[in-house]
């Protein structure tokens, strides 16, 4: 049997396999009950609603940069793409999913920070994103963050991105909070909103969709550093194995290809691939 496979059979004959996989970091009994799935399967948490990052399409397939990264990593861990069980990892649920052992790892626009690192471990970073704004392609009035003053700025309800602009960069911006970024983009397209703010990678993913082609552009403001990492259970040696996979992905050109495939249509000027294991403050 391939030692990288994540067998979960609870029969007496497979007890030794379960123990070996536990030591490899796929199941941590102290952190949560191991999943019960097929011996070749690996469960990966991603976003289901972020075009260009992680999106579940109407036909049931999954697309996006995080999907491509996770698929590459899973293959390096010994799993074919058909072995992957995709699980939605909403922002508020990510730590819980890992702590309970509901997923093997999470790649879901998951920014590394000190608070999260107390609860889970991170491989990576595999992408350096920045807070930015998306504006209409023909809008030349917003050239720097301060130009957002008196403009209608949109983000999702509860987002820290819009508040960062309001408190630090453009206090007179007229903040509009919607339930989702798709609503913000509809408002931007219709002229009801002047700018949308969140991570530039997320904005580029939306702008790359066919229905928005050539309608929007990124401001390129780089208002924060967001180091996307792959989350694993605390103490899991899976972190080191994923880092090795990410280093190979960068070295063989697969990382660049995934960036161009998912963000290219938006003219996203991404940062070069980050050095794996080095978080940019």
Is residue 272 assigned to a domain?
no
Token representation of residue 114? 């000190």
Is residue 173 assigned to a domain?
yes
Closest residue by Cα to residue 194 from 145, 159, 160: 145
Quick one: average pLDDT of 94-113?
96
The predicted-structure confidence for 1-31, as pLDDT tens digits, reads as follows: 444 444 444 343 433 333 333 333 333 333 3
Rounded Cα distance, 45 and 231, in Å = 9
Based on the domain organization, do 99 and 168 belong to the same domain?
Answer: no
Based on the domain organization, do 110 and 17 belong to the same domain?
Answer: yes
Quick one: average pLDDT of 106-117?
94
Q: Which of 22-36, 120-134, 160-174, 201-215 is least confident?
A: 22-36
| Three-state secondary structure call for residue 120 | strand
Residue 120 has what pLDDT?
Answer: 98
Based on the domain organization, do 124 and 231 belong to the same domain?
Answer: yes
Quick one: average pLDDT of 155-170?
83
- Per the prediction, the chain carries an average pLDDT of 86
Based on the domain organization, do 20 and 120 belong to the same domain?
Answer: yes
Residue 256 has what pLDDT?
Answer: 95
Residue 158 has what pLDDT?
Answer: 66
Q: Which domain holds residue 171?
A: 131-218
Q: Which residues contact 191 (CB under 8 A, 6 or more apart)?
A: 136
Is residue 234 assigned to a domain?
yes
Q: Categorize the per-residue pLDDT at 268 as very low, low, confident or very high, splitting at 50, 70 and 90.
A: confident
Is residue 206 assigned to a domain?
yes
Is residue 137 assigned to a domain?
yes
Is residue 281 assigned to a domain?
no
């Amino acid at each position: 049997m391939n030692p990288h496979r994540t067998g979960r059979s609870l029969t007496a004959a497979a007890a030794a396999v379960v123990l070996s996989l536990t030591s490899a970091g796929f199941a941590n009994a102290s952190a949560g009950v191991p999943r019960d799935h097929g011996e070749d399967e690996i469960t990966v948490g991603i976003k289901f609603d972020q075009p260009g990052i992680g999106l579940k399409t109407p036909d049931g397939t999954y697309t996006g940069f995080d999907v491509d990264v996770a698929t590459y990593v899973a293959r390096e861990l010994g799993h074919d793409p058909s072995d992957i069980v995709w699980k939605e990892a909403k922002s508020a649920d990510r730590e819980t999913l890992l702590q309970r052992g509901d997923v093997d790892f999470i790649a879901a626009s998951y920014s590394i920070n000190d608070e999260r690192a107390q609860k889970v471990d991170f491989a990576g970073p595999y992408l350096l994103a920045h807070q930015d704004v998306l504006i209409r392609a023909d809008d030349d009035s917003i050239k720097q963050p301060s130009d957002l003053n008196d403009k209608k700025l949109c983000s999702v309800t509860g987002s820290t991105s819009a508040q960062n602009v309001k408190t630090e960069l453009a206090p007179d911006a007229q903040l509009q909070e919607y339930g989702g970024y798709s609503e913000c983009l509809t408002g931007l397209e219709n002229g009801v909103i002047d700018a949308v703010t969140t991570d530039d990678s997320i904005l580029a993913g939306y702008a790359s969709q066919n229905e928005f082609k050539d309608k929007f552009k990124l401001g390129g403001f780089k208002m924060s550093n967001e180091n996307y990492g792959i989350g694993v259970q605390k103490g899991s040696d899976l972190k080191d194995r994923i880092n090795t996979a990410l280093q190979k992905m960068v070295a063989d050109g697969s990382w660049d290809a995934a960036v161009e495939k998912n963000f290219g249509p938006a003219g996203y000027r991404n940062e070069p691939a980050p050095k794996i294991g080095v978080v940019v403050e």
